Amino acid sequence: MTSGLTESISERLRGDRVIWVVVFLLVLTSTVSVYSASATLAWKAGGDSVSVLVRHLFQLAVGIGAMWAIHNFRFAWFSRLSQLGIHISLALLLMALLVGAEVNDAKRWVDVAGFRFQPSDMAKVALVAYVARMLDRNRLFLHDWSKGVQPIVLYIAATCGLILPADFSTAALLAVVCFLLMVIGGVSTRNLLITVGIGGGLALLVVALGAAAPGLFPRFGTWVARTIGFLGGEGGSDSTQIDFALQAIHEGGLLPQGPGSGVSRNAMPVAYADMIYAFIIEEWGLLVGGFGLVLLYLILFSRAIRVGTRCQRPFGSLLAIGLGLMLTFQAMVNMGVAVNLLPMTGQPLPLVSMGGTSILFTCAALGMILSVSRSLDDPDAAAPIDEPEGPRHARPLQPRQAHG
């Protein structure tokens, strides 16, 4: 009976088994840690210590369900869907800027059908998928700026530009991931340098506008204060939160103390969200909680790279690598903030921090990676939906040729 159950689960959870195991361990870590971090606060707020946990479990269930459904699709569908996804994302980002709900001087949220939704989470996945599509379809013209590269850069600039006023860290992270994807995808050195020049020029323009007209970028003062405070060792306006996180890490020591042992949850803001990594170290120690989580994300990254390098189709290869980069960079930024290696960003820890929109689109990204991995052993899963111009089986991970 046990063997039959194992086979049934194996048939349903296809693709890279190591990724599935990492997902299971991250979800387990999230469940235990969110409950431990939120139980006391939930009890004080409404007399129900499990109310936050129940909401979090629902969000995880929806996310895992979406991941399972997505991984059953042929990954070629995501190329087509990325066209729809990126344009919907741009519309929602614009809507958030104009009429979005304002929280902490940032308009990051829109209300859709009674649900509060953060468009930047959708935009991250949609843009990476769309850049992978464009690099695939334009792969014969990546030495030509106007034909092959300019359309890609325009979408990156538009998406990151709409995210930037409310969320600098997400815009910067997404721009870096997309640039690396362009490097991997074979864009010529000349066009990469042009892209860097344009990006640098736009960054200087944002700084100049932020200093001259603060109303254009309400968060500009916050970015500057955080950066100056971090570089000066003062922590800026977020010093209290960082101090609580560092104290939690200090109290955790090297070895686990177990769930429920942490005391920082009673004082540290959003211990179950942005600062959950510090709280996990407090309860599970540096060796298990700290290094263990880093190891899980590195394993996830290595498997995504493995899937990408083994995939014979350029779009699937770039999609898996790009999404793997995005999730891993986000995790490292979150953990870097918690240990005071980086200034405060507000990036959640993928699949661990509480947050419905973040969990949903993290799971969507993982589902896409699993869909690509499923195609490695299933020819039907690798069958194309539409074919781009150019060689049908061209590999994107070949040495780039220098073009003038």
157, 210: one domain: yes
CA 195 to chain centre: 23
Look at residue 381 and tell me if it is in a domain: no
pLDDT for the residue numbered 242:
82
At residue 32 the predicted structure's pLDDT band, cuts being 50, 70 and 90, is very high
Residue 390 within any structural domain of the chain: no
Per-residue pLDDT band for 152 (boundaries 50, 70, 90) equals very high
User: How many domains is the chain built from?
Assistant: 2
Instruction: Let me know if residue 360 belongs to a domain.
Output: yes
Could you tell me if 307 and 373 are in contact, meaning their C-beta atoms sit under 8 angstroms apart?
yes
In a domain, 93, yes or no: yes
Is 213 found in the same domain as 85? yes
Q: Is the distance from CB of 313 to CB of 384 less than 8 angstroms? A: yes
Same domain flag for 259 and 210:
no
Q: Which residue has the higher pLDDT, 332 or 232?
A: 332
pTM for this entry: 0.88
Q: What pLDDT shows up at residue 306? A: 96
Whether residues 148 and 195 share a domain: the answer is yes
Render pLDDT for 379-397 as a digit per residue (tens, 0 to 9).
Answer: 666 666 655 444 444 444 5
Confidence of residue 11 (pLDDT cuts 50, 70, 90): low
- 240 and 207 within one domain: no
Q: How far apart are CA 257 and CA 353, in angstroms?
A: 20
Residue with token string 């009674």: 114
Give the residue numbers spanning the domain of 146. 77-218
Q: Which residue has the higher pLDDT, 311 or 345?
A: 311
Can you tell me the mean pLDDT for 264-286?
84
In this structure, the answer to whether residues 64 and 154 fall within a common structural domain is no
Residue 206 scores a pLDDT above 50? yes
Least confident of 36-50, 145-159, 345-359, 375-389: 375-389
Domain assignment present for 43: yes
- 338 assigned to some structural domain: yes
> Does one domain contain both 182 and 266?
no
Would the pLDDT of 271 be above 90?
Answer: no
pLDDT-wise least confident of 68-82, 168-182, 211-225, 348-362? 211-225
Query: Looking at the structure, do residues 36 and 96 belong to the same domain, yes or no?
Result: no
* Choice among 22-26, 158-162, 254-258, 399-403 with the minimum mean pLDDT: 399-403
**pLDDT, greater one: 39 or 317:** 317
Residues 275 and 332 in one domain: yes
- Structure tokens of 211? 């200093």
Task: Examine the domain organization and report whether 156 and 109 are in the same domain.
Answer: yes
Establish if 334 belongs to a structural domain: yes
For residue 130, pLDDT over 90 is answered with: yes
> Over pLDDT 90: what percentage of the chain?
54
Q: Determine the average pLDDT of the residues in 186-206.
A: 92
81 and 65 both lie in a single domain: no
Going by pLDDT thresholds of 50, 70 and 90, the confidence category of residue 255 is confident
Q: Is 184 a domain residue? A: yes
Q: Per the structure block, which two tokens stand in for 245?
A: 């996180």
For residue 215, what pLDDT is reported?
Answer: 65
How far is residue 126 CA from its own chain's centroid?
A: 11
Residues recorded for the chain: 404
| Residues 124 and 213 occupy one common structural domain | yes
HEC states along the chain?
A: CHHHHHHHHHHHCCCCHHHHHHHHHHHHHHHHHHHHHHHHHHHHHHCCCCHHHHHHHHHHHHHHHHHHHHHCCCCHHHHHHHHHHHHHHHHHHHHHHHHCEEECCEEEEEEECCEEECHHHHHHHHHHHHHHHHHHHCHHHCCCHHHHHHHHHHHHHHHHHHHCCCCHHHHHHHHHHHHHHHHHHCCCHHHHHHHHHHHHHHHHHHHHHHHHCHHHCCCHHHHHHHHHHHHCCCCHHHHHHHHHHHHHHHHHCCCCCCCCCCCHHHCCCCCCCCCHHHHHHHHHHHHHHHHHHHHHHHHHHHHHHHHHHHCCCHHHHHHHHHHHHHHHHHHHHHHHHHCCCCCCCCCCCCCCCCCHHHHHHHHHHHHHHHHHHHHCCCHHHHCCCCCCCCCCCCCCCCCCCCCC
